[in-house]
Structure 1
């Protein structure tokens, strides 16, 4: 039962303050560790990108108190470290996701804030994991009951509450301080969905790093005694005025949401994964010749069509940059059919604008199907037909993939993905140390055991 004398953000904070890793199933703890390793690997793989180099340059200009570690070495203020590390894990768009009927988000985006806060607090690995699990629960459950995408706002809006609450948890703050951190972060970070519509900018990958930075900052501010709106959810012109009325009993929540999140198999927007799996299977069929493709027809669910297929969030055929390419289902299908893979290599500037992929992209037709839409988010149905110039047809149907919640990634799969992304920046011995430390985080006395390893990663490819 909820406490009628506590506001909704205070009830959420009571849940966060009481959260402990012992409440999680063994499966959930293992999947949480898998996501930590996956997030670190994706972050390492982005370190030499122009965007991360620009962020590192800015951080050097701004300075900082050296409280928290950057992946790739160096220290800075905790909020700037949260921004850098979240940007690293977000830039490739290769991280995890959570699918709610009216909202999709990426809970692992919160790890930059949680890691920085845990380091500032000299917390244990167990404390870090607990705070990270909290981020998953708050972020996903708000997205379940209070989606805002259809109202023109971005999924980082709910994430702001998760970032503030989880950073405050990692700092070891009490329930009232956690409530204030979440309220300040949530109130100040109501974000526009234009972030992900039309021609996409760098902000697509930086919107959540900004939220991670803010969550870290307001958690520190709450620790100084600063307060936020205590009726941020239910109050006059509060969050419910934006999201609509809903009920969420935080006293009934657990820490299992991580098991309902999914991990990307391909370096592509999350709703494309099953369609890309279908394309990979077609490409492997005998007689297939990508140079002779005359037509590509995809039937899929409405959310995929709306966000990346040319639906309500804009045409997806004017592709010039990585940010646009990894959110264009026509471009991604063309790249997969031509190259047989979709990894960071496909997002090299010259590959994005190459004549073959640009031409094939124009042959792709995408249609939403109501029956497929009804099966989402439990499934991600995709029905793909590729027709060659002589009329030969290839056909594949997929509704899940390795990494989907019905086919969860195991530790060996996570380690393989981690190695593929981190190998150019960290030798085998360092990768082994990082992976081993992550897998035993619940036994690690100080999170600095992990951050000190992350500081040894190179920011340039060997």
Structure 2
């Protein structure tokens, strides 16, 4: 007989939640949004297939001839290496979903690489894959709600490590004790530094969570072979609570609805920029606007956007030379949207990043945090943008959300438009249609129905 809840450690209670989760617990709205996240994550991953860092990673993970899980674009690797590569694809463009807690931001779709590889490695059903993916969303988001670590100097991948380990183990059909061990191993071993996202950004900005995805699968494999992890990883001496502080979280009361609290990016940019970029598009569409006549750009926004991407405590954002720096520089992103009218993967071509017009306009951008806007975050993502031309003409736009935010959830049809735009260079219309149909009905198919189609991506171009 299992021990009563009060005598079980927190990671054991988390594991019981994961083991008992079932897709039937999701409301119809949550299930639809979960499938939209799968479609969106797959589309973003396909769109990154030609990226140079991903080509290098593919060469690395296939070099040892490992098998067990499919690589998007064809070929195979060991499940942990496949998790790393596929998660890197879905993360590289920085065009995925996000969850906004008051003092933490994460990207729960980062867990898909781990869940997909783990599920495929044991021949799981699509239903089991979706269930484990929903578990990852719940764990990742709830730990970020109650135990933020960003202000302590640690990265959001820290909470995600518990999600990746537990969800990979759940996808493999492991029992409660094994899920607890996987979560404990991965959570203990992956306490990461926030320097990943401060200062001049490196490739690791996009690879930190793929590393966690890889470690989540490997931790689940270890647990499946009887390897144990610290059973008091949360509450024990020098455990997670010693880092994050005390908090209340009853895993027995959790559902699988947190996916409906996540948001999807409209613009190919860091998540806290989305409403400001919408405001820039609004101004650009106003009569009389001329990008070549801009004298100054003034944005008032919430404190988190200012700190992370606006030149606040995480570093000046006006030295922009690479994609990693560009997609985390709000001055650069505002400038390129005011000039080009959009921010999609093509804006991150090396020559566009360093072009004189965007570099010059970026230096005319001033960003100020507002206490009022900060108090309204994360329920609202406020932006008040003013652009002044050289002749004194002023344009202004204000917004507090965007399409894809919690107040305007993305529909399947809108998600399909984004998916098609990203995947079209690598998959013909028929393959894209089969992928979309398979994802939308995945609870009635084996997960291999999805991975077999993902293996065909890149072989046929539209």
Alignment CA distance shift 1:358-1:136 (3 Å): same
> What SS class does the counterpart of residue 4 from structure 1 fall into?
helix
CA distance in 2, matches of 1:402, 1:409: 7
Alignment CA distance shift 1:126-1:383 (3 Å): same
Alignment CA distance shift 1:259-1:346 (3 Å): same
CA distance in 2, matches of 1:307, 1:91: 18
Give the structure-2-normalised TM-score.
Answer: 0.99
CA distance in 1, matches of 2:388, 2:128: 54
Deviations 1:327-384, CA, capped at 9 Å, x for gaps: 0000000000000000000000000000000000000000000000000000000000
Which residue of structure 1 aligns with residue 64 of structure 2? 62
Which residue of structure 2 aligns with residue 20 of structure 1? 22
The correspondence of residues 250-289 of structure 1 with structure 2, limited to 5 A, is 250-289=251-290
The correspondence of residues 23-422 of structure 1 with structure 2, limited to 5 A, is 23-64=25-66, 66-422=67-423
CA distance in 2, matches of 1:116, 1:242: 31
CA distance in 2, matches of 1:369, 1:458: 46
| Maintained 8 Å contact 2:121/2:172 | yes
> What SS class does the counterpart of residue 432 from structure 2 fall into?
helix
For residue 61 of structure 1, report the CA deviation from its aligned partner.
Answer: 1.9
For structure 1, which runs of at least 5 residues remain unmatched after alignment? none
Give the structure-1-normalised TM-score.
Answer: 0.99
Deviations 1:240-271, CA, capped at 9 Å, x for gaps: 11101111000000000000000000000000
Deviations 1:421-443, CA, capped at 9 Å, x for gaps: 00000000000000000000111
CA distance in 1, matches of 2:461, 2:428: 11
| Maintained 8 Å contact 2:280/2:334 | yes
CA distance in 2, matches of 1:455, 1:355: 40
CA distance in 2, matches of 1:57, 1:77: 13
> What SS class does the counterpart of residue 6 from structure 2 fall into?
coil
For residue 460 of structure 1, report the CA deviation from its aligned partner.
Answer: 8.9
CA distance in 2, matches of 1:143, 1:228: 22
> What SS class does the counterpart of residue 365 from structure 1 fall into?
strand
Deviations 1:1-48, CA, capped at 9 Å, x for gaps: x81110000000000000000011000000000000000000000000
CA distance in 1, matches of 2:421, 2:158: 32
CA distance in 2, matches of 1:121, 1:399: 44
The correspondence of residues 404-443 of structure 1 with structure 2, limited to 5 A, is 404-443=405-444
Alignment CA distance shift 1:304-1:461 (3 Å): farther
Which residue of structure 1 aligns with residue 457 of structure 2? 457
> What SS class does the counterpart of residue 73 from structure 1 fall into?
coil
Q: CA RMSD in A?
A: 1.0
| Length, aligned pairs only | 460
| Maintained 8 Å contact 1:202/1:323 | yes
CA distance in 2, matches of 1:93, 1:416: 18
CA distance in 2, matches of 1:325, 1:355: 14
CA distance in 2, matches of 1:459, 1:185: 35
CA distance in 2, matches of 1:185, 1:117: 14
CA distance in 1, matches of 2:380, 2:200: 28
* Most deviating of 197-206 and 238-247: 238-247
For residue 459 of structure 1, report the CA deviation from its aligned partner.
Answer: 7.0
| Maintained 8 Å contact 1:48/1:461 | no
